[in-house]
Copies of this chain bind each other. A is one copy, B any other.
Amino acid sequence: MRIAELSRRTGVPIPTIKYYTREGLLPPGERTGPNQAQYGEAHVRRLKLARALVEVGGLSIASAREVLSLMFSTGVSQLDTIGKAQYVMTAPRDYTEDEAWQEAVAEVDRLLEERGWQVKPTNPARRTLADALATMRRLGQDDFAKVLGSYADAAERVAADEVKTLLHRGDLDSIVEGVVIWTAMGDTILASLRRLAHEAESTRLFGDF
C-alpha cells in the first residue's frame, strides 16, 4: 500500500510516519519510484506499536527505537528480548549521590530482600526507585515510608496477574509483544486509576469539594 493508505489504516498522520521512519522506529517502505514507496502489513502493525509506545506509553523516541528493534530483530531469543525491553523501558536519570540517595539504595535492597524479589543488580528500576525515594526524603516526605508497603503489595499483585494472563497466550511472540505493550501502557493505566481513586477516596471522606 502507499503511505496515504498506511496513514488511513493506522490513523497516524503522514508527517508522523515520515518522522518515525527518519528516526528508525519504522523501516522505510519498498521504493517503487522516485517519490513512491510500498508498505505492507508488517508496517501497519509496527507503526501502531510505535505510536502507542511513544504517544500513550510515553517512551522517548530513543527507547521506542531500541524496544522495537529488539522486538523485530531475529536472532535474539524471546526471553532475552523480554528482559532487555523491560530494562530499556525504564528511563535512567541523573541522581545526586548524597546521604538521602545512599539511604534510599539501602531501603530498596531491604525491600527486595524482605519480599524475596529476585532482581538483577543491573535492573535500572532499582536506581529509578532509589532516586524517587531519595527525592521524597530530600523533600521531607518521611511519612511516605508508611505507604511504601502498600505500593509494593500493589505492584506484586498486578505483576503476578499480568504475567499469568500473558502466559495464557501460549505463543511466545505474542507474549513478548504483550510484555512490551503492557509494560508501557500499564504505567499510564495505573497512574490514571490512582488519580481516579484519589478523587473517589477524598470525595468519600469529605464529600463533593
Q: Which residues of A contact B (CB under 8 A)?
A: 11, 48-49, 52, 55-56, 58, 79-80, 82-83, 86, 89-90, 93-94, 96, 98, 112, 115-120, 123, 125-126, 128-129, 131-133, 135-136, 138-139, 141, 143-144, 146-148, 150-163, 165-169, 178-179, 181-183, 185-206, 208-209
Contact of A119 among B80, B119, B182, B200 (CB under 8 A): B200
Question: CB distance B193 to A139 under 8 Å?
Answer: no
- A-B interface, 4 closest residue pairs, ranked by CB to CB distance from nearest: A154-B154, A117-B200, A159-B197, A155-B193
Residues of B within 8 A of A206 (CB): 79
Which applies to chain A's interface (DSSP): helix, strand, loop or mixed?
Answer: helix
Kindly provide the distance from the CB of A208 to the nearest chain B CB, expressed in whole angstroms: 8
Bound together, the chains give a CA A181 to CA B144 distance in angstroms of 10
As for how many copies of this chain the complex holds, the number is 2
Report B-chain residues with C-beta under 8 Å of the C-beta of A136.
Answer: 181, 185
Interchain CB contact under 8 A, B197 and A158: yes
Expressed in whole angstroms, the minimum distance between the Cβ of A151 and any Cβ of chain B is 6
Q: Is the CB of B189 within 8 A of A126?
A: no
Within the complex, the shortest CB–CB distance from A30 to chain B, in Å, comes to: 24
Give Cα A159 to B191, complex, Å.
11
Decide: A52 and B139 in contact? CB cutoff 8 A.
yes
